Structure 1
């Protein structure tokens, strides 16, 4: 617990270190872009065999076309991230930096990745075991699962998250509000009050729980021998491939378990540990313990949904709609889960330890203002 507590304390200063981390990541890929443009090996989107290819939108592209763009964007990004950290720019320059930052974050987090991070999250316990016992089956090791084309997408995702944090901190600082909580002397919108967040957050939870249901039904049906959304030949192929049906069933069960945990964002046991967690029963659940994992899964689900959307258009649905169509709904799963986590954070947030803005609010003319000592 002490290690976790120190981590949370360090992560609370994200407006300070995220900009430098984003600049470092952008500079690294800018330099790699130059290297790949000059013919260097290891270009992560180069055409490879199907069993080593990723589902990225850039998969199969040529280094001569993509690497120079990576070099330019990466090196410009390093300068822009440092400028945001130093709070440079006003008016038009500020808008340009914000547009660049949010655009790059969206590209790296939502558009370029595939399902890799979502798969790593779902199978992280098994991957931890495999690191010590080896991977069963024909694979030679973890490297056959986290190969470079796939690992590169996870790294780009992390850099994209850093860019989102950098841009958010810059946007708040240049608005003269607290970079940590976004609150200040300005009025607070009514929809961010705990009462409003509880209402719309409940609907977000319902969407997040309902969107993966078609995926869960199809994978459980396949395991039971029912070719729902696929051909008989494809089901026969999965039966003959060791572990393939079991992996699908495991993903479905993990999704169902995630839906149960998502309910905690609107249930009392999501705020106070219930009796069945005997070693913490009755204690307050730290908000970050729910918000951070939910946000991470939400961000990972959306690009996985876009990947299934692209693959559906490429292959056509037809009688094999069960392969990709259920995964298209992950876009709504991620969006709903992200909004539910945000609503939970709004309800649970207390006084900001950085700007000292209190948690209590009062309504004025349809808006909400924080209580102050002079109120």
Structure 2
């Protein structure tokens, strides 16, 4: 298990060290500080760091990165007591990086990327939009922060597994018990999948209705104003809704056979087992991104920044944290159902000898 801990811990330490160096450079006047005046968030309503300036903000970033690097290295090289403290510190740091610092623009960037890659093929205003519009540096930085948080969480999780003598790859110990058994995970996983599929349909219903001229959840004046100020905006909303609905269809794979065995219509892969991480990694990242976007809307709603009469423009998004949590739970259930087939467990790698036969 030492190898897995080292890989996860050193990756998190390297990310944190790089971020510490970047923070110090910004504080000393280097360009590229991703918050405050350089962030294209006109009213500061999206980012919680909208008021941050390079000095002293850069120094805070440097200190945060240094703390992350020390914590990650402690997870790798520290003794049992030091590792316990490091795990305790790593989870809040990871949560701050992955969930608190990013905002809803991260989800917009991910969702619009497929469209932006082909937008140049079209005439009109859409033809003038490219990937740079979906991923300006402040939003790309949010993606980097999220990935840094995931690395640190992975290092902490791996260290926790080592302490309880579980497999460093899948987390399985001698036997699954209680809610972690495959049968139990299958039951509550189906409920989680159902919630993850149904929840975004509230948003989809409004965004599909608006291009058809149906003012669902908003006034007709709202729709007309949007058409005047940004022609095609409701079609873009319908695209996002369709993107979310397709994600719901893919979520079904977490409880369907085609989520474990490649279906017949996939050439070269038909009939083969789906590697669990092929589903777990993207589903986990998407769950985080969805929850982050929803929390942005919840925060803005609690601040009174929305018109209550135009509830369709913001209330469906406030359910996205539930969507993200349900997707995360469904992904965990999928992992618990399939981790008994972990190759490392079968080969007895990174496991205590007594547990290597399970």
TM-score (norm 2): 0.87
Distance 1:351 1:284, change over 3 A: closer
Q: Report Cα offsets for 1:212-245 as digits up to 9, x if no partner.
A: 1111111111111122223333311222213311
Corresponding residue SS for 1:204 = helix
Corresponding residue SS for 2:118 = helix
**Aligned equivalents of 1:130, 1:79: Cα separation in 2:** 44
Corresponding residue SS for 1:123 = helix
- In the TM superposition, what are the counterparts of 1:279-290 in structure 2 within 5 Å? 280-290=269-279
Structure number with higher helix proportion: 2
- For the pair 1:349 / 2:335, whether they are aligned, the reply is no
Distance 1:310 1:283, change over 3 A: same
Question: What residue is the counterpart of 1:193 in the other structure?
Answer: 181
Question: What residue is the counterpart of 2:115 in the other structure?
Answer: 126
Structure 1 residue 60 displacement after superposition: 3.4
Q: Report Cα offsets for 1:66-115 as digits up to 9, x if no partner.
A: 332211111121122122122x0333x33321121111111111111112
Question: What residue is the counterpart of 2:208 in the other structure?
Answer: 220
**Aligned equivalents of 1:150, 1:52: Cα separation in 2:** 16
Select 1:71's aligned residue among 54, 62, 72. Answer: 62
**Aligned equivalents of 1:286, 1:71: Cα separation in 2:** 38
Corresponding residue SS for 2:83 = helix
Q: Report Cα offsets for 1:193-224 as digits up to 9, x if no partner.
A: 11101000000001101211111111111111
Select 1:46's aligned residue among 12, 31, 36. Answer: 36
Question: What residue is the counterpart of 2:160 in the other structure?
Answer: 171
Select 2:46's aligned residue among 41, 55, 67. Answer: 55
Conserved? CA contact 1:22–1:163, under 8 Å: yes
**Structure 2 unaligned runs (5+)?**
349-353
Conserved? CA contact 2:120–2:128, under 8 Å: no
Corresponding residue SS for 1:99 = helix
Corresponding residue SS for 2:60 = helix
Distance 1:334 1:343, change over 3 A: same
Select 1:85's aligned residue among 73, 76, 82. Answer: 76
**Structure 1 unaligned runs (5+)?**
1-12, 359-368
Conserved? CA contact 2:74–2:83, under 8 Å: no
Q: How many residue pairs align between the two structures? A: 348
TM-score (norm 1): 0.83
Question: What residue is the counterpart of 2:137 in the other structure?
Answer: 148
Conserved? CA contact 2:97–2:145, under 8 Å: yes
Distance 1:281 1:101, change over 3 A: same
Distance 1:199 1:112, change over 3 A: same
**Aligned equivalents of 1:228, 1:14: Cα separation in 2:** 51
**Aligned equivalents of 2:15, 2:166: Cα separation in 1:** 27
- In the TM superposition, what are the counterparts of 1:177-256 in structure 2 within 5 Å? 177-185=166-174, 188-240=176-228, 241-256=230-245
